[in-house]
Amino acid sequence: MAAALVLDFGGVISRTLFETHDLSERALGLAPGTLTWRGPFDPDQDAPWRAMQAGEMTERDYWTLRMRDTGALVGEDWTEFAQFVGRVRGADPAAVIRPEALAAIEKARNAGRKLAILSNELDLFYGADFREKLPFLKDFDAIVDATYTGILKPDPRAYGLVTDALGVAPGDCVFVDDQLKNIRGAEAAGMTAVHFDVTNPAVSYASALRALDAA
């Protein structure tokens, strides 16, 4: 029986920016349909996304491109991801948290499992003060953020940081992430891994809870 549920944040706990173009357009004062990049929801029409998935650019490079292009639409030059996300997400990050995530977190906690977040850019993207707006984060036993550690998934050391923080072995963890390279890294580290499908979050969380034996 697994002892801990380890979640990525962006895409897994929160809805992706691809899913919230309508909210972003309203926040920025743009006409509906202005933002057309759809990432995994329409990869054929998003060449940079395909390049990122092929390893030709990093995830941060992809979002730097989207940050620059979106800022140009409103005449703003954003230099930090938190500026970008803050502008497109507004002042209420709770509005974009997946209900499936909250339900799974509650089930895992009620089943006595430990909870952790392992993110490459949590505070880098959202800003250091956003956690105060998400009360459910207090339920987590550990939050490991490469914004501060400088060790990004799929580096094996990233997974070691979270197991050390939780005090569990890799084999006791169910890890959930929407990026395949991070899933492979977790498996190489000895974790059970669930590749999260952002187009079907309910099925992905059901798989994670089964692996955790907390469904």
C-alpha angle 150-151-157 in degrees, rounded to nearest 5:
150
45 and 137, same domain (yes or no): no
Q: What distances in angstroms separate CA 179 from CA 71, 72, 153, one per listed residue? A: 25, 28, 10
87 and 100, same domain (yes or no): no
73 and 110, same domain (yes or no): no
11 and 114, same domain (yes or no): yes
84 and 114, same domain (yes or no): no
118 and 184, same domain (yes or no): yes
78 and 153, same domain (yes or no): no
Element (H, E) at 195: strand 192-195
141 and 60, same domain (yes or no): no
Q: Please identify, among 37, 70, 93, the residue that sits at the C-terminal boundary of a domain.
A: 93
66 and 106, same domain (yes or no): no
Domain membership of residue 87 as a residue range: 17-93
85 has a pLDDT exceeding 80: yes
178 has a pLDDT exceeding 80: yes
101 and 45, same domain (yes or no): no
CATH number of the structural domain spanning residue 163? 3.40.50.1000
Other CB atoms within 10 A of residue 197 CB: 14
Q: Please identify, among 74, 93, 112, the residue that sits at the C-terminal boundary of a domain.
A: 93
**Residues 110-131: tens digit of each pLDDT:** 999 999 999 999 999 888 888 8
**Residues 126-175: tens digit of each pLDDT:** 888 888 889 999 999 999 999 999 999 999 999 999 999 999 999 999 99
**Residues 20-62: tens digit of each pLDDT:** 999 999 999 999 999 999 999 999 999 999 999 999 999 899 9
Output the average pLDDT for the chain: 95
